[in-house]
Structure 1
C-alpha cells in the first residue's frame, strides 16, 4: 500500500471515531475515485455503526441520470443528494477529471470535493499532479481530510437526519 492510501486509512479511522462518538452517520458520492473513499471508510473499525454507504457513478451520463444533477455545482449537489438518499448526517462527494485528458469541459486532474453537514456545504477545487492513479489517491486523502475537518469543526452543530 502506498503512503497516500495508508494516510487515507488513518484519516478514515479518525473519522469513524468522531462519528461514532457523536452518533453521526456518513455517506459518500464518488466519480473519479471509483469507490475508493467508500472502501477506506468501510474498512475502518465499527464502520457499520456510522457509515451509511455511498454511490459511485463514473460516466457523465450515469452521474447525471443516477443523481439527477446538472453540471453546475455538481460536487455540492452530489453531497446533498447522497445524504438524502442514505439518510446520512454528513456526506462527502467528489467529481472531476482524473486524467489523462480533458473531459466535461475541465482540464485533466481537476477535482472538486464537497462536504455537506445538513446545513452547510464546503467545496474545494484541486489541480493534482501525476498519473490518474496518483490523482485518485490524492483525491481520496484530501476528501477524507475535508470530511474529518468538517466533523471536528462542526460536530456539535450538525443536525441528525430524521425520517
Structure 2
C-alpha cells in the first residue's frame, strides 16, 4: 500500500479501468479495514466513474439497519463468517444497485474478541457480482495496521481477479 500522502495506486487504477470498460461500478463495506479499501480506490483520479460508495459499519447494528441484513445470520455464524460477510456484500450490492460489492469483517487486534475464538488477523472477504458471491477466509500476520493493509490488498486483488475473469460484457 502506498504511504501517506497517497500516491497513484496501480492496483486500484487497474480495477477502475476494468470497471469503466464494463460500464460498471463497485461499492465497499469495510469493517476491519476501516476505509483503506475505499481510500485506495479514491486515490485514483476519475474514481467517481466506477466507485459507487461505501460504508464502514464498525458497530454491528449498522450492518443490519443500513443493509437490511438478517441479524440471525450473525447470531448463528458470527460476524467474522462467510455467511455473514456474503450477506453484507449482497445487501450492499442490492442497496446501491451496483454491479459489484466488496465486504470484509475480521479481527485486527491487538487482542482477540471476547465473543469469538478466532485469532487476531482473522478476516472474511466477500465479493458479490453478476455471477454470484465468493468468499475467502484468511489469517493475516502483523500489527493492527499491517492486518488492515493486508485486508485492503487482498480485497482489491479479489476484485481485480473477478473482473479479469468476467472479461468484457457481451
TM range (shorter): 0.7 to 0.9
SS of alignment partner, residue 45 of structure 1: coil
Larger radius of gyration: 2
Q: Which residue does the alignment assign to 1:142? A: 154
Answer yes or no: is 1:128 the counterpart of 2:136: no
Unaligned runs of 5+ in 2: 78-82
Q: What is the TM-score of this pair, normalised by structure 2?
A: 0.83
Structure 1, unmatched stretches of 5+, are: 159-163
Give the TM-score normalised by the residue count of structure 1. 0.86
RMSD: 2.2
Report how many aligned residue pairs link the two structures.
156
Structure 2 equivalent of residue 39 of structure 1: 39
Q: Deviations along 1:117-145, whole A, 9 cap, x unmatched? A: 13311111010111100000000000000
Of the three residues 77, 99, 108, the one matched with 2:109 is: 99
Mapping for residues 1-163 of structure 1, pairs under 5 Å: 1-2=2-3, 9-67=9-67, 68-69=69-70, 70-71=73-74, 72=77, 73-103=83-113, 104-105=115-116, 106-156=118-168
Question: In the TM superposition, what is the alpha-carbon distance from 1:65 to its structure 2 partner?
Answer: 3.9
Q: Is the 8 A contact 2:21 2:168 kept in 1?
A: no
TM-fit CA distance, 1:40: 1.1
